């Protein structure tokens, strides 16, 4: 009996989107039937780091950066890069907001 579960790319992305929307981890795990919360944590890390190619790879085939799957086209590569940069901007906006709140509290 195998203990490893291979989740499709669509499930991984749905889980990431749900977490970004603020849905609690426990609820995401229950709705998508994901066995372990650490798996979701790993997917989120790969997403944050822009390692989208890792989400496509099957269990046991998690290559390091640059050794994974190639993009289907230049357009797909640019789209992935664009998504990564948009995420970076989101993070910086959130940081600026937190920084502004911290400064307001100090004054």
Claim: this prediction has a pTM higher than 0.75: no
Let me know whether 46 and 85 are in one domain: no
Residue 55, pLDDT score:
83
Angle, helices 37-48/25-32, rounded to nearest 10 degrees:
100
Let me know whether 58 and 102 are in one domain: no
Let me know whether 6 and 54 are in one domain: yes
Residue 41, pLDDT score:
93
Let me know whether 3 and 17 are in one domain: yes
Let me know whether 7 and 55 are in one domain: yes
Let me know whether 91 and 56 are in one domain: no
Give residues with Cβ within 8 angstroms of 22, minimum separation 6. none
CA proximity to 83, closest of 51, 35, 55, 38: 51
Domain ranges, residue 95? 71-107
Q: Please list the pLDDT of the chain residue by residue as tens digits (107 residues).
A: 456 777 888 899 999 999 999 999 999 999 998 888 999 999 999 999 888 878 877 666 555 555 555 667 778 878 888 888 888 888 888 888 888 888 888 76
Residue identified by tokens 């919360």 is: 37
- The 8-class DSSP code of residue 63 comes to P
Based on the structure, what is the number of domains in the chain? 2
Let me know whether 20 and 53 are in one domain: yes
């Amino acid at each position: 009996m195998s203990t490893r579960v291979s989740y499709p790319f669509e499930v991984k992305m749905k889980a990431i989107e749900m977490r970004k929307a603020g849905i609690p981890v426990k609820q995401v795990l229950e709705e998508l039937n994901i066995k372990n919360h650490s798996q979701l944590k790993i997917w989120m890390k790969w997403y944050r780091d822009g390692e989208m190619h890792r989400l496509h790879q099957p269990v046991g085939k998690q290559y390091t950066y640059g050794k994974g799957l190639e993009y289907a086209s230049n357009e797909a590569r640019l789209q992935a890069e664009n998504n990564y940069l948009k995420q970076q901007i989101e993070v910086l906006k959130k940081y600026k907001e937190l920084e502004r709140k911290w400064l307001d509290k100090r004054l």
